Structure 1
Amino acid sequence: MFVAVYWWRVHPGKEEQFREAWRRGTAEITRIYGSYGSRLHQNADGRFVGYAEWPDEATWQAAFDRKMVYDDEEARAMFQDAVADGPPNHAPIFTMTVTDDMLQRSISSSM
């Protein structure tokens, strides 16, 4: 398994808009590109951090090279409108191969 970690700062008052756009975009990326989905976290400084799981690095790289484009234009526009800052070129801050996985999966009511 392979993971990519991303971060974003969101314009004040647009947090819910961002979260909805992130959920919709993540669902599309999972459907189109074969990711295993993602988790969204919020840091104490207000920054959002997304942790996305992929079957392998090659699958992630192919999706990244295609800019993970999907057809939900409204969700993409909502996302872009909400984001105030992020890494250059939308690049992840970490990409890592999983060596040992002790994470317990739970069903989340937030999705």
Structure 2
Amino acid sequence: MFVVAYRWTVHRGKEDQFRTAWRRGTELIRARYGSLGSRLHREDGPGGPRFIGIAEWPDRATWQAAYDARMVYDEPATRAAFVDAIAAADTLPLLLLEVTDDLLDRG
């Protein structure tokens, strides 16, 4: 398994818009590119709420193919809502990690 972390700072007041667009985008990426899904985490930062997305992929090659394709999906309104809510984003993934041991309870 391969895990990738992303970070976004969101405009205050647009947190729900961001989360809705993130959830839909994640569903579309899972369906089109084969991700295993993602988790979204929130923290309050000095520049506004920050969200960290932790996406799981079956392997690095599957993620790399999706990344190279820019993870484009055919739902412009979702993408527009996502981008509109973002105040700042890291331009590259925050972390790229190979999972060596997994003890998360998924039950």
TM-score calculated relative to the size of structure 1: 0.91
- 2:98 is matched with which residue? 97
Query: Which residue pairs with 2:78 in the alignment?
Result: 75
Query: 1:43 offset after TM fit, Å?
Result: 1.7
SS across alignment from 2:93: coil
Q: Which runs of 4+ in 1 moved over 6 A?
A: none
The match for 1:50 is 53
- Show structure 1 runs of 5+ residues with no match: 107-111
Q: Which is worse superposed, 25-34 or 44-53? A: 44-53
CA distance, structure 2, for counterparts of residue 23 and residue 105 of structure 1: 19
- AA at the equivalent of 1:94: L
Aligned AA (1:30)? R
1:105, CA displacement in angstroms? 1.4
Tell me which amino acid in the other structure corresponds to 2:97.
M
TM-superposed CA distance for 1:44, in Å, is: 3.7
CA distance in 1, matches of 2:85, 2:51: 12
Unmatched segments (≥5 aa) in structure 2: none
Which segment drifts farther, 42-51 or 63-72? 42-51
Which residue is 1:109 aligned to? Answer: none
When you count strand as a share of all residues, which structure comes out higher? 2
Letter in 1 for 2:100: T
Matched, 1:28 2:31: no
Three-state SS of the structure 2 residue aligned to 1:79 is helix
